Amino acid sequence: MSWSQRIEQALAARRAADGWRQRIRVEHNNVRELTVAGQRYRHFSSNDYLGLSQHPAVIAAWQQGAAEAGAGAGASGHVTGFSRYHAQLEEQLADWLGYRRALLFISGFAANQAVIHLLAEKSDRIVADKLAHASLLDAASHSPATLRRFAHNQPASLAKLLATPVEGNTLVVTEGVFSMDGDSAPLAQLAAETQRANGWLLVDDAHGIGVTGEQGRGSCWQQQVKPELLIVTFGKGFGVSGAALLCDDATADYVEQFARHLIYSTAMPPAQCFALLAALQQIQQGDELRAQLHANIARFRAGAADLPWQLMPSASAIQPLVVGENSAALALSQRLKAAGCWVSAIRPPTVPPGTARLRITLTAAHGFDDIDRLLEALYDAAHQ
């Protein structure tokens, strides 16, 4: 089969399964509201949980950074792209989260790929939560290590897999807050099982950092766990983009010397570091923002209790409403758009077959009137 035939066949299959993905050209996005094709919607598909992408201090910091340091880094951090602003951000992140070192990456995907590709060798094994993010599973499956997957958030399942001896090292991989179900990993129990097997624990806390724990320090801090490898990303609670690996000195040196994703990527713009430092300050002082977010979550869950679809048991900003079939999830998403609410339908392969859903995300930028409007639209759609 030629490449052209293979491409056409794959595209036809995706369309037939109601799984076609399409990028939307957004004209305006202020976290609370979204404008598409001249139509304004209340926005419930943003990962900017604290609304910091629109915070005046964060915006002003990026502008100041661009004025002082230019629009781009101009090189890899291993050439001339690592500035004093990058160093300051790494130092503050490490101090805030209680680690010796932090290393900046251009994205969470790149950070996960870099760490797993670098550490995993043929004699090693990776034991990952079955619902871990695609960036983690992709890196694990393409590494020379043996990949095993434990039942979602089940320490007993992990313990059973770890009971089998392995010649090399063991890396246990999970998320802090899961991106599609919105539930939290039992990190203390997973850490205990990992330690019993003399393994290392990697936690991707993309959806917990900034939102949970004291000063928004995240899921690990909240559960009093310090994994050997902590990945935090800046596109959610921080409202910007990028990521960091938190680890000890030796591991950081090893990553600096050998991680191709770090060595051969242009460093993030120094101006972005300015914005991230401002966002970090807002997060550290953000108890009021987190209180508003959790109040919004509570209001939505109370109001959604009688909906006919399955509301996943999530205490996070991610509130998945499982519809089932792809076509049904798409239809419900369209009904909500007609009512002025933007909620994206999430379908396989991002979620398991038969669990297509609306991934409703709430933010501190929402007011109770926004939550109530969404609930009204959902109940109207249910009656239709």
Catalytic residue IDs? 47, 133, 175, 179, 204, 207, 236
Q: Is residue 179 annotated as involved in ligand binding?
A: yes
Q: Is residue 108 annotated as involved in ligand binding?
A: yes
3-state secondary structure at position 135: helix
DSSP state for residue 144 in the 8-state scheme: S
Contact 373, 32 (CB under 8 A): no
Q: Is residue 44 annotated as involved in ligand binding?
A: no
3-state secondary structure at position 252: helix
CA distance 57 to 325: 43
- Which residue is associated with the tokens 């900034």? 210
Report which of 10, 41, 7, 11 is spatially closest to residue 24, judged by C-alpha positions: 41
Q: Is residue 266 annotated as involved in ligand binding?
A: no
Q: Is residue 82 annotated as involved in ligand binding?
A: no
Q: Is residue 78 annotated as involved in ligand binding?
A: no
3-state secondary structure at position 321: strand
DSSP state for residue 143 in the 8-state scheme: S
What are the residue ranges of helices labelled H in 42-199? 56-69, 84-97, 108-119, 134-141, 155-162, 187-196
Q: Is residue 133 annotated as involved in ligand binding?
A: yes
Sequence ranges of the binding site for substrate:
21, 133, 350
Sequence ranges of the binding site:
21, 108-109, 133, 179, 207, 233, 350
Sequence ranges of the binding site for pyridoxal 5'-phosphate:
108-109, 179, 207, 233
